[in-house]
């Protein structure tokens, strides 16, 4: 089956980064469906925040959630600095989203502009690292790295990580997924030539 036609590119990306690049990733239809469901839950939570009722003042619950956003961001940075541990980083993202989703759905949380701005800054932070929220750029607030050197270093490391993951997929003869990665990299101006066997 052509995976690229069956699944959104962001779902495929989520699937690829949800396991550590050093570990084996056994592709199954069930695992792709799980990745799709998880990713859709993330997008639905983002939409819930965007559409949530507005509050003029900030509640104690909002203060606590803003602190949890800060904490999750720091833990994601720590995980990525620890040998690009994407499963741990994404687990932090999922835990935070579950709490925010519960607060809005079960507790009827109303949000203010400060929370909304901080939340979408967190979304952009994750987009810049994982590239999983590209369609939401219009709603995001500016995010900047400490320096261009830091940004360049991260980009180079992530490209190398993607190339390593792609090589693993080819070793496992998962050519559909590896071709998707090659084409997306080519769109970004990065050409990969595979050696003929």
Domain 3-187 sits in which CATH superfamily? Answer: Isoleucyl-tRNA Synthetase; Domain 1 (1.10.730.10)
DSSP 57: S
For the record, the structure tokens of 131 come out as 């590239």
pLDDT per position in the chain (197 positions), as tens?
A: 567 778 888 888 888 888 755 665 666 888 889 999 999 999 999 999 988 888 877 789 999 999 999 999 999 999 988 878 899 999 999 999 999 999 998 888 899 989 999 999 999 899 888 888 876 544 443 333 344 455 566 666 777 788 888 888 888 888 888 888 888 877 777 777 776 54
Q: What would the two tokens of residue 181 be? A: 């990665």
Name the DSSP class of 111.
B
pLDDT of residue 154: 66
Answering whether pTM is above 0.85, one says no
For residues 197 and 194, give the distance between their C-alpha atoms in angstroms, rounded to a whole number. Answer: 9
In this predicted structure, what is the pLDDT of residue 149?
Answer: 55
How far apart are the C-alpha atoms of 129 and 72, rounded to whole Å?
14
Contact yes or no for 192/166 (Cβ under 8 A):
yes
Please state the domain extents for the chain.
3-187
Question: 80 with 91: CB under 8 angstroms?
Answer: no
**Residue 124 to residue 53: CA distance in whole angstroms:** 22
């Amino acid at each position: 089956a052509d995976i690229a036609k069956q699944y959104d590119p962001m779902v495929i990306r989520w699937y690829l980064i949800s396991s550590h690049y050093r570990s084996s990733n056994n592709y199954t239809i069930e695992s792709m469906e799980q990745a799709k469901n998880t990713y859709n839950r993330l997008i639905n939570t983002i939409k819930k925040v965007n559409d949530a009722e507005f509050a003029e003042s900030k509640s104690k619950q909002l203060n606590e959630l803003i602190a949890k956003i800060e904490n999750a961001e720091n833990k994601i940075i720590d995980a990525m600095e620890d040998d690009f541990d994407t499963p741990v980083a994404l687990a932090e993202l999922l835990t935070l989203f579950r709490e925010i989703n519960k607060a809005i759905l079960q507790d009827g949380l109303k949000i203010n502009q400060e929370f909304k701005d901080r939340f979408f800054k967190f979304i952009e932070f994750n987009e810049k690292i994982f590239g999983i929220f590209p369609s939401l750029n219009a709603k995001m607030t500016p995010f900047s790295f400490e320096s261009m050197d830091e940004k360049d270093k991260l980009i180079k490391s992530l490209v190398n990580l993607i190339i390593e993951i792609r090589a693993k997929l080819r070793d496992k003869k998962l050519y559909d997924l590896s071709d998707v990665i090659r084409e997306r990299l080519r769109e970004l101006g990065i050409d990969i030539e595979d050696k003929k066997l």
